Amino acid sequence: MGTHNNNNMHTMKQTDQGLIPLYSIIAAVNQLQRQGFDPDALLHGSSISPAQLGTDRSCRQIVPFDDLVQVYQNAVNLRPEPGLGLQVGKDAGVGVYGVVGFAMLCSSTDIDAVNLAIKYQKAILGTNVQISLQVEGDLGIIRVTDTLPHGAVKVFYMEQFLSGFLRFNDVLAERPSRICELRLDYPNPGYASAYEETFGCPVRFDSQHTDIVFRTDILGVNLPNADPVTARACEQVCEDLMRQFDRAGKYSSQVRQLLESHWQEQPSMETLAQALDCDARTLRRRLNRENTSFREIRDMLRQEMAIERLRRSDVSIADLANELGFSDSSSFRRAFQKWTGHQPGYYRN
């Protein structure tokens, strides 16, 4: 495992806010990288190391929402260009929505796709941004609510999210999307004409809510890539990820993420507690309330890392044992047998 690009343990400080899938942050970094950003610079100050960007575990790992905020804050600081978020969203690929996006693409109708997005929204947006559908006569409203920090980061987030949403819908129905009106709950950033050009509709700033207003007749449209079998398979993965959210308490997620991003330093319980602004006794109590412990989190991470390394490389058992913090190969083999019911060789390709 690589170390975080900031070895100073003060970078482990995190606020006590929300959760998001790691792959959502990876998708954001990949989007920005296509715009010329350096991934290391984007991750600076977050709890995510560049080495985590290519791990098999990213599809089921939950991390603090603050890591996404940090990535976007870095992007804004590095390139304070007007309308940068609009451009990033326009260039977003289908993969930005992860497995939820593929389930939506295989849906039978537009309303089926919308319902999937709402049902599994945490698997795309995390816990700090929510979407809902309202119908008023022949108009539908997708309302976006959030607990994002006000200012440039929120503007950037909403720009990339809304323009990316529009592009995804173009791909979904294989025809241009039509929005009647866009209402935004933040002030005009100074380039309203770029918004109207991007969305092709009137845009109202300083609104009470952030709303995407559209005609409801689009909801009954049959989608060209309908595939119920694939859609259901994708939904099963979505359901598994939602269960990860149910199991992932705020503190256990933070401890896991900090452990992984500082793995080579092998931080102790006391060090992690200090990074989370509490003492070891308090952290132990909080983890216990989430039905886990420092040791359980560390062992689960060790197990996942071991399986991934065995599948993806020809690392020796001795080197892997040392990498995972075991005193010798025998100790590692015993632990691995206990975790999985198999010897390490079972997972070799």
Cα–Cα dist 134/143, whole Å: 8
Closest to 45 (Cα-Cα) out of 18, 84, 76, 20: 76
Annotated domain spans of the chain:
9-243, 245-347
135, β-bridge pairs: 140
pTM for the structure as a whole: 0.72
- How many CB atoms sit inside 10 A of residue 241's CB? 21
Residue from 28, 157, 171 nearest 104 by CA: 171
d(CA 271, CA 101): 39
**Residue 235 is encoded by which pair of tokens?**
């939904």
- Predicted pLDDT at 11: 43
pLDDT in tens, the chain (349 residues): 333 444 444 444 444 458 888 889 999 999 999 999 999 999 998 888 887 777 665 566 788 898 999 999 999 999 999 999 999 999 887 778 888 999 999 999 999 999 999 999 988 899 899 999 998 889 999 999 999 988 999 999 999 999 999 999 888 988 888 899 999 999 999 999 999 999 999 999 999 999 999 999 888 889 999 999 999 999 988 888 887 776 666 788 788 888 888 888 889 999 999 988 899 999 999 898 887 899 988 998 898 888 888 888 889 999 999 989 899 999 999 999 888 888 898 888 6
Contact by Cβ (8 Å): 183, 210 = yes
262 Cβ contact list (under 8 Å, min separation 6): 3, 4, 9, 12
Give the C-alpha separation, 83 to 76, whole Å.
11
Beta strands, E only, 150-222:
181-183, 203-204, 210-215
Report the relative pairing of strands 129-136 and 139-146 from DSSP bridges.
antiparallel
DSSP 120: T
Q: Cβ distance 274 to 80 under 8 Å? A: no
**Rounded CA separation 128/66 (Å):** 10
Q: Which fold has domain 245-347?
A: Arc Repressor Mutant, subunit A (1.10.10)
Rounded to an integer, what distance in angstroms lies between the CA atom of residue 237 and that of residue 59? 9
pLDDT at res. 313: 85
